[in-house]
Structure 1
Amino acid sequence: MVSAVRTVLGDVAPEQLGVVDAHDHLFIRSPQLPGKELDDADDARARLDAFRELGGGTVVQWTPYGMGRRIAELPALSRATGVGVVAATGLHQAAHYTGELLDAVRGRLAELFVGELTEGIGDTGVRAGLIKVAGGFHGLDEHAVLTMQAAAEAHHRTLAPIAVHLELGTGALDVLDLLCGELGVRPGSVILGHLNRFPDFAVHRLAAEAGAWLAFDGPSRTNHGTDWRMPDALRALAEAGFADRLLLGGDTVTPDTPGMPYLLRRVRPRLELTLGEGLVDRILVANPARAYAW
């Protein structure tokens, strides 16, 4: 079987991605972030241009269904900037939606996800390249279980990867118990996000041993007091033999964060001091090419 990554411009060979921001947002809207929406196409273009100028090749947008993805504009942005873009289907935590929206989709989530992965999102013709779901703080509530069940069904029908928002980096093992244990998803198709926000090296090691992808995403959010632990966490995993499971992303969610270029302008050289240029290049290029390939 020939693998490919599904971008907003169509399927591409994994080796065409170049340097990858494995988790970010060009557009996102939520009642949890009033007045801080990412909803400016000119700003999105500027961030992509800056990312490209720093050597960036592809951005994976984890914005799921119902959160202002502005899917119709992504192909033009990708063409204009020369940066590949991967879009997401899926569903975030319940707090990010109105009750009416959740009532409208609750009974058809798997069909919604499959449709957006295979047929296209709305009438745009753009197909999603991953399924985004979310856990809770140190556990999984009823909504999380429901969305992960639907994500697992959609994965089994399409082989699309599943990316998981871990609330403050917690609950990774609960997610793997459900998705990979009960629901039969192959661990290599699961991407665990925000592990930098909960620097428990033992949990990181157990998740890596299970075979999942470990995303350290969100270093642009400088208010996180755990950011300084990320280089040591990555080094510990690499030294334990799990360098091939690591991913990096910017996770820009508000206009006042430094933006996706920060990943390459500041985070990359900082990590190169700890890990070496070769390993950082592997994390930014080779690993995401495998993680997001179907």
Structure 2
Amino acid sequence: MIHTVLGPIEERELGVTLPHEHILVGFIEDGKLTRDDYDRQEVVDHILPYLLELKSVGCRSFVDCSPEYLGRDPYLLRELAEKSGLHIITNTGFYQAPYLSPFVYEIPETELAKLWIREYDDGIGDSGVKPGFIKIALNKGRLNPVQEKIVRAALTTSLETGLPIQAHTNDGIAVMHVLEIMAERHFDPSRFIWVHAQNEKDLDMHELAFKQGMWIELDSIMRWPNEDNCRLLQAFLDRGMKEKLLLSQDLGWYTVGKEQGGDIRPYHKLFTVFIPFAEEWGIDRSVLDSLMSYNPAIALRNRS
């Protein structure tokens, strides 16, 4: 079972999925982003055509990775899901400095987890929308105190709710630290998605995380040259990591504070540009299909 903004669905209903994209992002520091900082109708008007275009090329599900204080809006996502026909999934959790509310630095880990568990149990605010995953971030290198607290709270929340975790990541050293914490907590790494895995160049770190069960997400599609993405994807496949790989773009999005939302990058090109290129480059289409449908359904399923 997977929670979308319109309610729970079965894993088999997820279909072809983009596991890491964004609809709205507001880079306003110290947790000060509010609903008054943007016009929700304007966001709908600008983003809906991109979502309809995405659905027209066969994508069925869209995972929105903007956490609270960085642009999460369950009401906006629900309206876009209703109008686009896509399964849209939102999150609970917090990001990293400087986009954290000041209270996050002071609140104990257990209380932080309770906030996220409450959103899962009761819905986000009064929206009735339940999160389908936990979104956090890792700083570069070994975790600093606030990010370690956030990681530990996310593990607690995952164990209590069954939700998987997606973690914005800058390098493999942070992931190695997370694996240490997981071992200490007897936490199953298969509940955890290493986001932006392409940022780490040492493939031995990816393989180590994979062997412990962690998901590896290559989300630079349409950000990096197609050939570079194919080389990295093939390197992962050559190491036998197909069963734990995810592909996405980390694209969009309506940027709060920019006129008309700024430069919104379309979501459909992974399917219309990259996949044809990858096939021609030599990656089997059945492998690509598995990475875009079967794998996301397993990675995003609720373990409760």
Q: Fold conserved (TM > 0.5)? A: yes
Counterpart of 1:31 in structure 2 is: 28
Tell me the amino acid that sits aligned with residue 234 of structure 1.
Answer: L
Cα deviation for residue 229 of structure 1 reads 3.2
Cα deviation for residue 70 of structure 1 reads 1.5
Q: Deviations over 1:147-179 (max 9, x none)?
A: 01111111111111011110267632222222x
| Correspondence for 1:264 among 271, 287, 294 | 271
Q: Which has the larger radius of gyration?
A: 2
Cα deviation for residue 109 of structure 1 reads 1.2
Cα deviation for residue 100 of structure 1 reads 5.4
Is the aligned partner of 1:293 residue 2:282? Answer: no
Alignment of structure 1 residues 39-118 onto 2, 5 Å = 40-99=43-102, 103=106, 108-118=111-121
Counterpart of 2:145 in structure 1 is: 142
Counterpart of 1:21 in structure 2 is: 18
Gaps of 5+ in 2: 30-37, 256-261
Cα deviation for residue 41 of structure 1 reads 2.0
Q: Deviations over 1:183-241 (max 9, x none)?
A: 2221111011001222322222111111111111132335xx8x743322222222332
Q: Deviations over 1:50-69 (max 9, x none)?
A: 11111111011111122221
Rounded to whole Å, the distance in 2 between the matches of 1:106 and 1:156 is: 14
Tell me the amino acid that sits aligned with residue 13 of structure 2.
Answer: Q
Rounded to whole Å, the distance in 1 between the matches of 2:242 and 2:66 is: 27
Residues 1:177 and 1:260: Cα distance change in structure 2 (over 3 Å): farther
**RMSD of aligned Cα (Å):** 2.6
Counterpart of 2:284 in structure 1 is: 276
| Correspondence for 2:165 among 127, 141, 162 | 162
- Provide the secondary structure at the position in 2 that maps to 1:275: coil
Rounded to whole Å, the distance in 1 between the matches of 2:245 and 2:39 is: 27
Q: Any conservation in 1 of the 2:69–2:101 contact (CA below 8 Å)?
A: no
Say how many residue pairs are matched: 286
Tell me the amino acid that sits aligned with residue 261 of structure 1.
Answer: H
Residues 1:183 and 1:106: Cα distance change in structure 2 (over 3 Å): closer
Q: Any conservation in 2 of the 1:8–1:87 contact (CA below 8 Å)?
A: yes
The 10-residue stretch of structure 1 (38-47 or 79-88) with the greater mean CA deviation from structure 2: 38-47
Residues 1:101 and 1:240: Cα distance change in structure 2 (over 3 Å): closer
Cα deviation for residue 136 of structure 1 reads 0.9
Q: Any conservation in 2 of the 1:155–1:185 contact (CA below 8 Å)?
A: no
Q: Any conservation in 2 of the 1:199–1:233 contact (CA below 8 Å)?
A: no
Is the aligned partner of 1:187 residue 2:189? Answer: yes
Rounded to whole Å, the distance in 2 between the matches of 1:229 and 1:210 is: 26
Q: Deviations over 1:130-149 (max 9, x none)?
A: 00111111221111101011
Counterpart of 1:243 in structure 2 is: 242
Rounded to whole Å, the distance in 2 between the matches of 1:87 and 1:72 is: 11
Rounded to whole Å, the distance in 2 between the matches of 1:97 and 1:114 is: 18
TM-score (norm: length of structure 1): 0.88
TM-score (norm: length of structure 2): 0.86
Tell me the amino acid that sits aligned with residue 250 of structure 1.
Answer: Q
Tell me the amino acid that sits aligned with residue 166 of structure 1.
Answer: T
Cα deviation for residue 98 of structure 1 reads 4.3
Rounded to whole Å, the distance in 2 between the matches of 1:203 and 1:85 is: 31
Q: Any conservation in 2 of the 1:199–1:230 contact (CA below 8 Å)?
A: no
Please identify runs of 4+ aligned residues in structure 1 that moved more than 3 A: 100-107
The 10-residue stretch of structure 1 (185-194 or 63-72) with the greater mean CA deviation from structure 2: 63-72
Cα deviation for residue 76 of structure 1 reads 2.0
